[in-house]
Amino acid sequence: MLLKVGGVNQASGRPEGIHWHSNSSDQVYYWARDEDREDIPWVDVVHADGTHTIYKDESIQTAPPKEELRLMDCMDCHNRPAHIFRSPNDLVDAALSKEKLDRTIPYVKRNAVEILSMTFKSKEEARAAIVAEVGRRYAKGLPEDRRGKLVEDIYAIYDVNNFPLQGVHWRTYPSHLGHKTSPGCYRCHDGRHREEAGKAISHQCANCHDFIYQAHGDAAYGPVTYETRPFEHPGEDTSDYETQLCSDCHNEKVGWYPGHVDGKRDPNARPKEPEPEAAPEPEAAPEPAPE
């Protein structure tokens, strides 16, 4: 994926791309309904000649108080300058690709993401729960030493992403530099913020990035070729990713690989029945990966 980060075009002197917002000729003001500035119904762009373009969504009719408008700056997107927390889904993907999680364990991604999406009051409670969950899910499927290794690997991911003593974990401050697990750019670029004539703040995927290459299955391990194409959402039900918010399904409340399209499942709700495929028979388990 190629991001159109932008800046000032040296030839024309015109600011463009993603860093257009912090240019000096047009100023983007907005009004947020909440303290975390995640709910933004009103955007007021003041152009160099002093004219305004106001974009608003259906939820607001009258202008908000002027003194509550905020001039957009770097921190409205770069809200997580230092420690970047990532969703369990992304961390588990990274661990699998770096072989920090044994990818030969059946359903390891799904189980690890589900466990890491639970919340715990302390690191001790987390460790005990991970031991219990791995035991329950792999009672039959894995020998004890591999279960022990899996517990350590999952705990290592938990440990960098949750600080229960400080009350901070990966859900606390969603990053605004994207739009997958929280609204981020879609706080304004969701196609629902319109100016008077009905034109919405740009929502086209290609305004912000190009998808150079996408591959599924074995092809994903092949060399990358330069081939610009539209995004192909994985899975069979690709119904509505263009008009729905990505975070309606991939949200921080769910945080895992969304096997459920309603995205509403309580992350702490444990499945009532043990999932049949989560505890395969020993002979179904493939050989352990070489170190």
Contact residues for ligand HEC, defined by CB under 6 A: 3-5, 16-22, 28, 30, 40, 43, 45, 55, 72-74, 76-78, 89, 93, 176-180, 184-185, 187-189, 201-203, 205, 207-209, 231, 233-235, 240-242, 244, 246, 248-250, 257-258, 261
Two structure tokens written together for 130: 């991970």
- Beta carbons within 10 angstroms of residue 176's beta carbon: 21
Cβ 75 to ligand HEC shortest distance, Å: 8
Nearer to ligand HEC, 111 or 151 (CB): 111
Nearer to ligand HEC, 76 or 252 (CB): 76
Cβ 225 to ligand HEC shortest distance, Å: 18
Helix H or strand E segment including 116 = helix 108-116
What Cα–Cα distance (Å) separates residue 37 from each residue in 168, 176, 220, 279? Answer: 18, 10, 37, 43
Nearer to ligand HEC, 74 or 156 (CB): 74
3-state secondary structure of 36: coil
Cβ 17 to ligand HEC shortest distance, Å: 5
CB burial of residue 67 (10 Å; 0-12, 13-18, 19+): exposed
Angle, helices 88-97 vs 144-161, to 10°: value is 130
Task: Name, in order, each residue with C-beta under 8 angstroms of 139's C-beta and a sequence gap of 6 or more.
Answer: 279
Nearer to ligand HEC, 115 or 142 (CB): 115
* CA 190/CA 64 separation, integer angstroms: 20
Two structure tokens written together for 68: 């509550």
Nearer to ligand HEC, 86 or 127 (CB): 86
Task: Name, in order, each residue with C-beta under 8 angstroms of 233's C-beta and a sequence gap of 6 or more.
Answer: 241
Cβ 116 to ligand HEC shortest distance, Å: 14
Cβ 234 to ligand HEC shortest distance, Å: 4
Two structure tokens written together for 55: 């974009």
CB burial of residue 280 (10 Å; 0-12, 13-18, 19+): middle
Cβ 177 to ligand HEC shortest distance, Å: 5
Nearer to ligand HEC, 174 or 178 (CB): 178
Nearer to ligand HEC, 202 or 228 (CB): 202
Task: Name, in order, each residue with C-beta under 8 angstroms of 275's C-beta and a sequence gap of 6 or more.
Answer: 107, 137
Cβ 22 to ligand HEC shortest distance, Å: 4
* CA 62/CA 75 separation, integer angstroms: 27
Nearer to ligand HEC, 46 or 129 (CB): 46
